[in-house]
Structures are given as structure tokens and as C-alpha cells.
């Protein structure tokens, strides 16, 4: 499970989330000008929902023009409508503050790293366990989220050492508490995997995002020892054919693997 890990992250001011926010800010005066002209010429004021749809459409158009990832487009389109709906419900401001703090703790710097929260599942854990060498090893899940994979492998392989690293505070804290309550040997640390030395590990597992894969390969290829294994769920490394291709669940996400041979 992963939330907000590093990996060749863009500079703060070029982060997609901030660019999307800028597009909303630009769309607001543009939509105001269009609606004002409509009112002057037609003598009819636009309904607030029409104004929200117009602003969302303009923001989505700006994001498409600036080539933001396609999934930003529905977010941009629906954001003003969601805001209008929230205001219509007259919810206490404290609810929005609590939700904001929760998502900050859960996703942390995902806006910068472009690595959102992705949970892995039991079939994936089974597939990873089947790929591990028989001899004792040291493995790490980079962006370990709530710790499911690391806890599972630690329980299966008492002869080996498994770790997780997570940047977001809430998942890291939950994984630490889970390990303590279970008496697990699993280790969890809070931080960015870019600070690690991959030479210390026999297996590195990643469930990141397409944006992080080129820098992940650069780090793994330069640091991992010959014969060690890099695993990635769902996302391929550009221009690097995998040595392993598994489908833990038929029609589901694919698990890819690369054996280091430098």
C-alpha cells in the first residue's frame, strides 16, 4: 500500500496539484466574464449550477491544454459542483477541517510526488511470497502504506527480515501499531525511499505510479546487487522489459519483476 513516496518528484511549484489549482483560479474570472456578458446581452442571470459547470469546464479545458494527466479532468470539472453542493448542505466548518487534516495525514505529499494511496491485496502478497528466494533475505516495501504486505511476509518467513518505508504519517503510524499489536518482527520507518541504499536489500517491492518509475529504475539499477529482485505492481518501467510477468488475479493488476544483472 502506498501513499506519497518520492521518486524523481517535480519541483514544488510545478506539482500537478498546484497547476490544477492555478487552472481553477484562472477559470474563475474567465467564467465571471462570460456570465456577465451573457447577463448583459440576454438580461438573464445564470443559475449557480450553470456557473459552477462553466468554471469546471474551463478549468478542465486548461488542464487538458497543459497536458495534465487525464484523471485531473473529471476532478477539475466536478470540483466547483462539489463545492456548491457542500455549501448548500450548510455543514459545520469543523467537518471540513477534520476531513482536510485526515487527508493530509493520509496522503501527505502526494500532490508533489504524484504517488497516491494504492492498496495491494492478499493475492498480490501470495504472488510476491512465491517469488522470494528460499534462503534468508532482506526485503522492503517502498511506500508500505498500512503495512499489509510487510506484515504478511514477516509472518510467513520467520527466517527473513522485512521492512516498510512510508512518507505519510497516518499509514506509517497505523503500520507501526499493527506490528506491535501482533508481536511482528516487521519493521516500519517513516521517510522517503530515495534516502535508502537499495544495496542493503535482496528484494524491493514498489506500488507507486507511472511518474515515479523512471527514477525508481535509475536508483535500483545503480544500487541493487546482481541477482536481487525489483518488483512493481501494475506499473512498468519504460523501455525495460520485465523478467517476470504475473497476474495474481485473472484480469486484475499485473505484477512485474526485474532481476538485477549489472
What CATH class is the domain 122-259?
Answer: alpha beta
Contact 122, 147 (CB under 8 A): no
pLDDT band of residue 84 (cuts 50, 70, 90) is confident
DSSP state letters, 158-182: TTSEEEEEESSHHHHHHHHHHHHHH
Q: Where in the chain is the domain with CATH 3.40.50.150?
A: 122-259
Distance CA 214, CA 77 (A): 30
pLDDT tens digits along 206-233: 998 888 899 999 999 999 999 999 999 9
pLDDT score of 140 more than 90: yes
pLDDT tens digits along 98-133: 665 655 555 555 444 444 556 678 999 999 999 999
Q: What is the reported pTM?
A: 0.66
The pLDDT assigned to 111 comes to 45
Amino acid at each position: 500500500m502506498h501513499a506519497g513516496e518520492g521518486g524523481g518528484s517535480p519541483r514544488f511549484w510545478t506539482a500537478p496539484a498546484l497547476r490544477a489549482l492555478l487552472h481553477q483560479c484562472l477559470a474563475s474570472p474567465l467564467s465571471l466574464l462570460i456570465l456577465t456578458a451573457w447577463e448583459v446581452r440576454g438580461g438573464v442571470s445564470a443559475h449557480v449550477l450553470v456557473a459552477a459547470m462553466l468554471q469546471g469546464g474551463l478549468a478542465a479545458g486548461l488542464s487538458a491544454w497543459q497536458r495534465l494527466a487525464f484523471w485531473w479532468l473529471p476532478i477539475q470539472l466536478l470540483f466547483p459542483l462539489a463545492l456548491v453542493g457542500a455549501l448548500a448542505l450548510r455543514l459545520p466548518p469543523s467537518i471540513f477541517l477534520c476531513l482536510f487534516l485526515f487527508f493530509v495525514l493520509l496522503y501527505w505529499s502526494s500532490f508533489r510526488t504524484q504517488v497516491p494511496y494504492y492498496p495491494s491485496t492478499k493475492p498480490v502478497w501470495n504472488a510476491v511470497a512465491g517469488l522470494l528466494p528460499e534462503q534468508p533475505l532482506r526485503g522492503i516495501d517502498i511506500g508500505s502504506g498500512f503495512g499489509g504486505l510487510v506484515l504478511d511476509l514477516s509472518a510467513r518467513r520467520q527466517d527473513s527480515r522485512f521492512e516498510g518505508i512510508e512518507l505519510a504519517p497516518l499509514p506509517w503510524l497505523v503500520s507501526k501499531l499493527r506490528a506491535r499489536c501482533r508481536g511482528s518482527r516487521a519493521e516500519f520507518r517513516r521517510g522517503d525511499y530515495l534516502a535508502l541504499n537499495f544495496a542493503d536489500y535482496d528484494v524491493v517491492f514498489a506500488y507507486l505510479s507511472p511518474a515515479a518509475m523512471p527514477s525508481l529504475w535509475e536508483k535500483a539499477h545503480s544500487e541493487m546487487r546482481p541477482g536481487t529482485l525489483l518488483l512493481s505492481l501494475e506499473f512498468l518501467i519504460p523501455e525495460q522489459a520485465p523478467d517476470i510477468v504475473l497476474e495474481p488475479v485473472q484480469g486484475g493488476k499485473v505484477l512485474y519483476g526485474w532481476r538485477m544483472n549489472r
